[in-house]
């Protein structure tokens, strides 16, 4: 059966997450329903990462198997037609080898978490950023983030219901930057790793916000990590601000 890689973006606000769930709207469910309009299936679309309810994606990657050969451009156009009116779009499609896997072939995943600092409620970015109505010390947040770089046991920063066999992960990038956005000052927390634990980024961002307000010292991030105790984590940041930005493969199936 021909296999195709799909690069997908979606607004996660009204979805219960990526994964198909009985009686709940999901991105996977919307995509598989669109595929059924083109091919009798059954379809079980595999993704590079299972985003939670309310989390968005610019660069999610999934793969699907079809009964007949499709021109990749025509397949993406047909899927986008049948995905309406869901806030989901296939932005690239490529034929891949039968053993290529969106999850297991991935070498790196990237996320950005958006925080907008302002007192007024958000309008244009409502549901797409965390509004914080108080100033944040970005330099202190960046200093705190540096304690988490590298290979560590991230028990403190993963959900209690996380199903990963090991809490050990290697965090390659954790940058904190301030930007002047049209809706007010923004803080972007960018993270890159081969894989992440359930709620790892939101747990880290929530703790970094405590550093930004001065409630935590930057060194407390390292202390919380070393404790390997979920009780030492700060409040978990809301899902609204989290965006799945990219997945890296070698070679890149979409390069052509």
Closest listed residue to residue 75, CA positions, set 61, 59, 99, 94: 94
pLDDT tens-digit map of 38-73: 998 789 999 999 999 999 999 999 999 999 999 999
Task: Supply 212's token pair.
Answer: 């930004």
Q: Say yes or no: do domains 3-105 and 108-245 share a fold.
A: yes
Question: Where does the pLDDT of residue 22 fall: very low under 50, low under 70, confident under 90, or very high at 90 and above?
Answer: confident
Backbone angles phi, psi at 133, to 5 degrees: -90, 20
CATH architecture of 108-245: 2-Layer Sandwich (3.30)
Residue pLDDT, tens place only, 161-215: 998 999 999 999 999 999 998 999 999 999 999 999 999 999 999 999 999 999 9
Q: What is the dihedral of CA 106, 146, 149, 238, to 10 degrees?
A: -50
Euclidean distance between CA atoms 80 and 72, whole angstroms: 12
- The span from the CA of 235 to the CA of 92, in Å, is 36
Q: Are 58 and 128 in contact (CB under 8 A)?
A: no
CA distances to 50, 185, 190, 221 from 137, rounded to whole Å, are 31, 12, 16, 15
CA nearest to 49, candidates 128, 129, 130, 106: 106
Q: Domain limits of the chain?
A: 3-105, 108-245
Q: Is residue 175 flagged as an active site residue?
A: no
Evaluate whether the domain defined by 3-105 bears CATH number 3.30.70.580: yes
For 34, phi then psi, to 5°, come to -65, -40
Q: What percent of the chain has pLDDT over 90?
A: 96
Convert the pLDDT of each residue in 127-161 to its tens digit.
Answer: 999 999 999 999 999 999 999 999 999 999 999 99
Distance CA(49)–CA(61), nearest Å, equals 8
User: DSSP characters for 21-78?
Assistant: BTTB--HHHHHHHHHHTTS------EES--PBTT-EEEEEEEEEE-SS---HHHHHHH
Backbone angles phi, psi at 248, to 5 degrees: -105, 135
Share of the chain above pLDDT 70, in %: 100
Q: Which one from 52, 65, 172, 175 is the annotated catalytic residue?
A: 52
pTM metric for this prediction:
0.96
What pLDDT does 122 receive?
97
């Amino acid at each position: 059966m021909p296999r195709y890689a799909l690069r997908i973006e979606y607004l996660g606000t009204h979805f219960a997450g990526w994964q198909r769930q009985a009686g709940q709207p999901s991105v996977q469910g919307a995509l598989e329903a669109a595929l059924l309009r083109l091919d009798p299936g059954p379809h079980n679309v595999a993704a590079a990462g299972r985003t939670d309810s309310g989390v968005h994606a610019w660069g999610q990657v999934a793969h699907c198997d079809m009964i007949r050969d499709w021109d990749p451009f025509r397949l993406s156009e047909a899927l986008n037609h049948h995905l309406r009116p869901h806030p989901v779009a296939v932005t690239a499609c490529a034929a891949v080898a039968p053993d290529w896997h969106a999850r297991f072939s991935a070498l790196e995943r990237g996320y950005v978490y958006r925080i907008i600092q302002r007192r007024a409620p958000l309008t244009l970015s409502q549901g797409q950023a965390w509004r914080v109505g108080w100033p944040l010390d970005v330099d202190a947040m960046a200093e705190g983030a540096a304690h988490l770089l590298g290979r560590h046991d991230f028990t403190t920063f993963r959900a209690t219901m996380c199903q990963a066999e090991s809490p050990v992960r290697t965090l390659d990038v954790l940058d904190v930057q301030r930007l002047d956005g049209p809706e007010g000052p923004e803080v972007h927390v960018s993270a890159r790793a081969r894989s992440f634990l359930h709620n790892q980024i939101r747990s880290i961002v929530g703790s970094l916000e405590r550093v930004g307000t001065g409630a935590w010292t930057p060194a407390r991030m390292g202390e919380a990590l070393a404790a390997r105790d979920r009780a030492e984590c700060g409040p978990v940041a809301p899902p609204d601000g989290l965006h799945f930005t990219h997945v890296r493969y070698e070679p890149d199936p979409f390069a052509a």
